[in-house]
Structure 1
Amino acid sequence: MRLRCARHKQLQHRLAKQNSNVPQPAPSSPPTPAPQKSIYAHSAFLAFIAARLLAVFATQVQAVVVAWQVYDLTRSPMALAYVGLAQFLPMLVLLLPAGDLIDRFARKPILAAAWGVGAICSALLWWLSGHGAAGVNGIYAVLVLFGCTRAFSGPALQSLLPQIVAREQLAQAIAANSMIMRGAAIGGPFLGGVLYALGGGELTYAICFACLLLGSALLIWLVPVKYAGPPAPTQGTMSERFGAGIRFIRSRPIILGTISLDLFAVLLGGVVALLPIYAHEVLHVGPQGLGALRSAMAIGEVSAGLYLSMRPFNSRVGRTMFIAVAIFGVANLVFALSTVYIVSFIALMIAGSADMVSVYIRGALVQFSTPDHMRGRVNAVNMLFIGSSNELGEFRAGTSAAWLSAVPAAVLGGVCTLAVVGLWSRIFPTLRDVDKFEEAALPGDQ
C-alpha cells in the first residue's frame, strides 16, 4: 500500500514537471471596443440637420426683418413688445394639444406641416410689407399664426431627434445640432439686415418662404425614423394625459430646475429685444449693424458648439451649467453699459458662448431624464418655458425700456439673471450636484 502511494506521488510530480515546461497561452486581454461612429457620418442626422438649417435660417432672417420693419414704422418700444407677445400667446394656448398630439402620433409629419404653415406666414408678410404703417396690425396677426406653428414645431423637433440617433450619441447630436443651428443664426440676421437694406421686406420674406417650404419637403422625404418608442397611452382625456406629463416634470427636480432656470434667467436678463433701440440710439448703426449684433451671440454659440460637438464633456455638468448662466448674465451687463460697438459685439459673443454651454447641458439632461413616450408633453412644457424666456422676455424688455429707457432696463435684466442663478443653486441642489448625464435617467427609461 505504501509502495502504491509512493509511485502515485512520483507520477504526479513527473506530470507537473512536464506541464511546467509547456508554454502557456498568454491571458486574453479584454476586447478593445470599436471606435464610436462620428455623428456627422449618420445620413439621417445630416438630412435632419439640413432641413432644420433651412427652417432656422428662414426664422432668423424673418425675426430681424420684422423687428426692424415694425420699429422703423412705429418708432415705439411697445411695438417691439407686441412682436414678442403675438408669438408667445398662441404657444401658451396650444401647449396642451401640441404636447399630447406629438406623443400619440408620428412626429415627422407634424413638424413638416408646421413648417409648411410657417411658409404661408412668410408669404403673408411678403404681401403686407408693401402696405407701410397700415400693415402693422396685419403683421401682428400673421405673427400670431406663426406662433401657432412654433407651438407644434418646437416640441416636435426636440422629440424627433432621439428617434433619429442612438441613445449613446444623443449628447453629441445635441451639441452638433445646436452648433449648426447657431450657424444659421450667424448668417440669418446679418443677411436679413443686408437684404432689407437692399430690397426691403419683399425680397427677404420671399427667401424665408422658399427656405421653409424646402425644409419641410426635405424632412418628409429624406429623414428616416429608426428609434421610435411606443406611442403614449390614449386612455383618459387630453387634460388627464397632459396632467400626467406635468406630474412627471414635478417629480423630477433635474427637469423642473433645468427648464425653470432657463425661463427666468433669459426672461429677466435677455437683451435681444432691445437691439433695435441700441442700434438706433446708443451705438448709432443701421440695419446692417443690427444684423451683426444679432449675429454676435450666434458667433459665440457656434464657437462653443463646435468645440462641444468635437469634444463633448460629461462631468460636473450641473455646476458647469450654473456657471455658464452666470457668465451669460455678466456679459449682458457689459453690453448694457457699453457705448462702443466693438465692446458690445464682444460682450454678446461671450454671452452666446455661455448660452451654448447651458443649452448643451440643458438639452442632454432633459432628454436623458425623459422616456420616449413622454417626450412630446415634456418638450411642450420645455418649449413653453423657452418661448416664455424669448417672446415673453421680449415683451418684458420692451415694456421695461418704455418705462425706464433701454439702458436701465438692460442693466436691471443682467442683475436679475445673476440673482436667479444664486437662488436656483439653493432651491435645486440635485441639479447643481449632478455629475454625469446618465445620472439623470431613471432605471428603465428609454
Structure 2
Amino acid sequence: MSHAHESTATSLLHNRPFIRFWCARLLGVTATQMLMVAIAWHMYDLTSSAWDLGLVGLFQFVPALLFTLPAGHTADRYHRGRIFAACMLLQACVGLVLVLATEQSFATRGLILVVSVMLGMARAFQMPAQQALTPLLVPVAQLQTAVAWSSSGMQVAIICGPALGGVLYIWGPSTVYATCAVLLVCAVGLALSVRYPHRPVYLAATWSSVSAGFRFVWQHKVLLGATSLDLFAVLLGGATALLPIYCRDILHVGPVGLGLLRGAPAVGALVMSLALIRWPLRRRVGHKLLTAVGVFGLATVVFGLSQSFALSLLALVVTGAADSVSVVTRSTLMQLETPDDMRGRVSAVNSIFIGASNQLGEFESGATAALMGAVGSTVLGGVGTVLVAASWVKLFPALAHRDTMEPSAR
C-alpha cells in the first residue's frame, strides 16, 4: 500500500464523526441481518411455505418503493444523522414487539408480515440518509477510501450477523429478537453523537423536487447503467429468500447452517473490498464491473445446482466478491458525481434500484420456487443475470467503456 493510502486510512481512523457513524452502521447492519435470519426461519417454521418466504420480501419492498422518494427529499432537507437514528429506533421497536409476541404465543404469519412492512418503511428512510451522510464526514480526497472502509465494515456485520443469529436461534427466536433490539438501541446512541455542519435545504415537497433524483440519474448514463445493472442482478440472482429451503430440504443443515450460508457472500465481499483498498480500480472500470456481474450470475447457477454444503458456501463467497466490485464502483461514482444538495434524492433512487430490489428479488425467488422448485428458480435467475451483463455492453456503451474512476465534468 502506498504512503498516500496509509495516510488516508490513518486520518480516517482519527475522524471521530466518521468512526462513530461507522460503528453505528456496523451495529445496525449486524442487528438487521440477525433479524432477517430469525424472521425467515420463524416464518418457515410456522408455514413451511416458499410463497410466504417470498411474501416477507414483498411486504418489505412495497413500503420501500412508496416511501423512498419522499425519504430522499427528507434526507436533503433534515439532519441525516437523526434520520438514521430514528430508523434504528423503529427497528428496535420491531424487535421488542417480536420478543413479546413470541413469548406470549401470538407470533403469527400475519404479524410477521406486518412487521415486515415496518422494516420496509424504516429502510426506505435509512438508506438515503446513511448513503448521503458519509460525504459530509470526510474530505473529498478520502471519499473512495471511506466508501471502501464502510463496505468492509458492513461486510463484517453481514458475516457476523447471520452466523450469530443462527446460533442464538438455537435458544429460540425471542433470544435473537431481544439481542437485535439491544444492538439497535446502541446504534441510536452512536448516531445521535455524530456531529457535522448541517446546512438545511428548504425545498418545497413538490413532485418536481421529489423526483429530481430520477432525472439526475437518467441524464447520467454511467450512473443509470450501473444502478440498473445491479437492479437486475439482485432481482434475478436473489436466492437469499430460498436459503431456509436449501438448508432444511436440500443441504440438510439447521439454523446454524442457515446463518453460515447467509454470511458466506459477505466473506467474499469483505475480502474483495479489502483488496480494492489495497489495489483500487484504476483502468477499465466498466469492463471489470460487467465481468464481475457475469461471474455473480455463474456462481449463482453453481449454488443452485449444488447438493454439497461446502460447494454451496464457496459459490456464495464468490457471489459476494463479485458483488463487492459493483457496490464500491457504483457508490463511489454516485457520491463523486452528485452535488451535496442532491445526494439524498439520488441516494433514494439508488435505494429503489438496489435496496428495494433485494426484497422484490426475494419475492420473485419465492414465487418462482413455488412454481418450479428452489433449484429451478435459482438456476434461472443466475442464467438471467449473465444475459443481463452481456446485454448491458450494447445498451450502455458509456458504462462498458468507462476507463477510470475520475468524476466526469458536470
- The separation in 2 between residues aligned to 1:392 and 1:156, in whole angstroms, is 21
Residue 233 of structure 1: how far off its partner (Å):
5.2
Aligned to 1:204: 176
Equivalent residue number for residue 17 of structure 1? none
What does 1:317-328 correspond to in 2, within 5 Å?
317-328=285-296
CA distance in 2, matches of 1:388, 1:217: 26
Structure-1 residue corresponding to 2:167: 194
Q: Which runs of 5+ in 1 are unaligned?
A: 1-31
Q: Distance in 2 between matches of 1:40 and 1:134?
A: 43
* Structure 2: distance between partners of 1:110 and 1:177: 19
Report matched runs for 1:24-423 at 5 Å. Answer: 36-38=7-9, 39-130=12-103, 135-197=108-170, 199-221=171-193, 223-225=194-196, 231-232=200-201, 234-235=203-204, 237-423=205-391
For the pair shown, the structure with the greater C-alpha radius of gyration is: 1
Cα separation, 2, equivalents of 1:51 and 1:435: 34
| Counterpart AA for 1:122 | G
CA distance in 2, matches of 1:379, 1:101: 11
Letter in 1 for 2:80: R
For the residue of structure 1 that corresponds to 2:365, the secondary structure is: helix
Contact 1:316 1:433 in 2 (8 A): yes
Change (3 A) 1:114 1:388: closer
1:61 & 1:134 partners in 2: Cα distance?
17
1:166-187 deviations in whole A, cap 9, x for unaligned?
1111111111101111101111
Shift of 1:152: 0.4
Percent identity over paired residues: 44
Stretches (4+) displaced over 6 A: 32-35
3-state DSSP class of the match of 2:406? helix
Gaps of 5+ in 2: none
Q: Secondary structure at the match of 2:307?
A: coil
Q: CA deviation at 1:133?
A: 7.4
Distance 1:314 1:40 in 2: 24
Q: Which amino acid aligns with 2:334?
A: V
Query: Which range is displaced more, 237-246 or 276-285?
Result: 237-246
- In the alignment, the residues of structure 2 paired with residue 101 and residue 145 of structure 1 have an alpha-carbon distance, to the nearest angstrom, of 18
TM-score by length of 2: 0.95
The 8 Å contact of residues 100 and 241 in structure 1, kept in 2 or not, is answered as yes
On the 8 A contact 1:305/1:356 being kept in 2, the answer is: yes
Cα deviation, residue 231, structure 1 = 4.6
The one-letter amino acid of 1:347's match is: A
CA distance in 1 between partners of 2:231 and 2:8 (Å):
35
SS at match of 2:224: helix
Against the structure 1 CA distance between its residues 233 and 71, is the aligned structure 2 distance closer, same or farther, given a 3 Å change threshold? same
Output the CA distance in 2 between the equivalents of 1:78 and 1:173. Answer: 39
Aligned counterpart, 1:21: none
1: distance between equivalents of 2:338 and 2:94? 33
Q: CA deviation at 1:265?
A: 1.1
The reply on whether 1:442 has 2:409 as its aligned counterpart is yes
Q: Aligned-pair distance for 1:318? A: 1.2
Instruction: Give distance in 2, aligned partners of 1:394 and 1:278.
Output: 14
Distance (Å, rounded) in 2 between the aligned partners of 1:129 and 1:171: 43
Is the 1:74–1:133 contact (alpha carbons within 8 Å) kept by the matching residues of 2?
no
Please, what is the CA RMSD of the aligned residues?
A: 1.8
User: Greater CA deviation, 279-288 or 393-402?
Assistant: 279-288
Distance 2:273 2:262 in 1: 17
Determine if contact 2:213/2:348 at 8 Å carries over to the other structure. no
Question: Quick check: 1:231–1:373 contact (8 Å CA) kept in 2?
Answer: no
Post-superposition Cα deviations, 1:208-251, rounded to whole Å, max 9, x if no partner, equal 00111110111111x2225x6x554525x421202322211111
Indicate how the Cα distance of structure 1 residues 33 and 305 shifts in structure 2: closer, same or farther if over 3 A, else same.
closer
**Does the C-alpha gap of structure 1 residues 207 and 442 become closer, same or farther in structure 2, counting only changes over 3 Å?**
same
CA distance in 2, matches of 1:281, 1:417: 25
Q: In structure 1, what residue type is equivalent to 2:64?
A: M
Give the conservation status (yes or no) of the 8 Å contact 1:73–1:133.
Answer: no
Secondary structure of the residue aligned to 2:409 is coil
